[in-house]
A and B are shown apart, each in its own frame.
Chain A
Amino acid sequence: MSTATPNLVELRDLRVAFDGVQVLHGIDLDIAHGEAVGLVGESGCGKSVTWLAALGLLPGKASVTGSVRLEGKELSGAPRSALETVRGKRIAMIFQDPSSSLNPVLRIGRQLTEALAIHRGLSGEAGKAEALRLMDLVGIPDPRNRFGQYAHEFSGGQCQRLMIAMALAGEPDLLIADEPTTALDATIQAQILDLLVQLRSETGMALVFISHDLGAVSQVCDRVCVMYAGRIVEQGTVDQLFSEPRHPYTRGLFDAIPRLDGPRQRLVPIPGTVPNPKELPIGCSFSPRCAHATRFCQTNQPRLLHQPDGRSLACVNPIEALQAGVQQAKILEETMQ
Chain B
Amino acid sequence: MNPLIEARNLVRIYEVRKGPFSRPQPVRAVDDISLSVMPGETLGIVGESGSGKSTLGRMLLGIDPAQGGEILFEGHPMPPLRSAEWRALRARIQLVYQDPLAALDRRLTISAQIGEPLDIHQTGGKEERIARVRELMDVVGLRTDQAGRYPHELSGGQRQRAVIARALAARPSLLVCDEPVSALDVSIQAQVVNMLRDLQEQNGIAMVFISHDLKVVRNIADRVAVMYLGKIVEEGSADTIFHSPRHPYTQALVSSMPIPGKRLQSRVILQGEPPNPAARPSGCAFHPRCPLATDVCRRKTPDLRPVGADRTAACHLVTAGTAMAA
Binding site for B on A (CB under 8 A): 42-43, 155-158, 185-191, 193-194, 197, 212-220, 238-239, 242-243, 252-254, 256-261, 263-271, 273-274
Contact = CB atoms under 8 A, between A and B. Distances in A.
Interface stretch (B4-12, B98-106, B208-216): B208-216
A193 B219 contact: no
Interface of B: 48-49, 155-158, 185-191, 193-194, 197, 212-216, 218-221, 238-239, 242, 252-254, 256-264, 267, 269-270, 273-274
A43 B218 contact: no
Given A214-B260, A258-B213, A260-B215, 4 more contacts: A190-B258, A190-B267, A257-B215, A260-B242
A256 B155 CA distance: 18
A188 B239 CA distance: 25
Contact of B215 (A238, A239, A258, A271): A258
Interface centre among B157, B187, B238, B262, by most chain A C-beta atoms within 10 angstroms, is B187
A258 B259 contact: no
Contacts of B261: 218, 238-239, 242-243
Given A253-B187, A258-B190, A266-B197, A190 B215 contact: no
A217 B263 CA distance: 9
A258 B218 CA distance: 8
Contacts of B253: 186-187
Contact of B259 (A43, A256, A260): A260
A174 B43 CA distance: 44
Contacts of B269: 187, 190-191, 194
A264 B263 contact: no
B100 to A, nearest CB: 14
A242 B267 contact: no
Contacts of B185: 42-43, 212, 274
A177 B238 CA distance: 34
Q: In this complex, which of B155, B216, B220, B264 has the most chain A Cβ atoms within 10 angstroms of its Cβ?
A: B264
A337 to B, nearest CB: 29
A228 to B, nearest CB: 10
A259 B191 CA distance: 15
Contacts of B238: 264
Nearest to B269: A190
A42 B186 CA distance: 8
A270 B187 contact: yes
| Most chain A beta-carbon neighbours within 10 Å: one of B186, B189, B216 | B186
Question: A-B pairs with the 5 shortest C-beta distances?
Answer: A242-B261, A215-B258, A269-B190, A267-B190, A270-B187
B216 A42 contact: no
B186 A253 contact: yes
Given A187-B252, A190-B267, A190-B270, A256 B190 contact: yes
B49 A219 contact: no
B256 A157 contact: no
Contacts of B262: 215, 218-219
Given A157-B273, A215-B258, A267 B219 contact: yes
Nearest to B42: A264
Contacts of A158: 273
Contacts of A186: 48, 212, 214, 253, 256-257
B270 A187 contact: yes
A218 B194 contact: no
A185 B47 CA distance: 9
Contacts of A260: 214-215, 218, 242, 254, 257, 259
